[in-house]
Amino acid sequence: MCLPEGLMNSAASRAYYAMFQAAQVAMAVAGFREYLVSGLRVRLAADYGPAGVNKKTVQRLVYRAASFVAAVEEKVRHGSAIE
């Protein structure tokens, strides 16, 4: 609806969030529920929060990122879709 009305920034934002939400569903189906959402929350706190993030939070995020990336690499290596 935004694109035909010439609202380019809004159209871009909504297109991105459609992809983001689809990625969340794909990750949940693959067993990585909420990783992307919690990762974004931590990234925003790290980049913009006045206090930053603590070591335990970062350790958890790094572990989740590593396990997710490893699962994707395994699926790509074997030529199969992420389930």
Contact 52, 46 (CB under 8 A): yes
Provide the whole-model pTM.
0.63
Contact 52, 45 (CB under 8 A): yes
Residue 71 has a pLDDT of 82
Contact 10, 2 (CB under 8 A): yes
DSSP H or E stretch at residue 43: helix 35-48
CA separation for the pair 47, 63 (Å, rounded): 19
Burial class (CB in 10 A: 0-12, 13-18, 19+), 72: middle
Q: Which of 20-24, 49-53, 76-80 has the lowest mean pLDDT?
A: 76-80
Q: State mean pLDDT over 27-33.
A: 79
Higher pLDDT, 82 or 72: 72
pLDDT greater than 90 at residue 32: no
pLDDT band at residue 53 using 50, 70 and 90 as cut-offs: very high
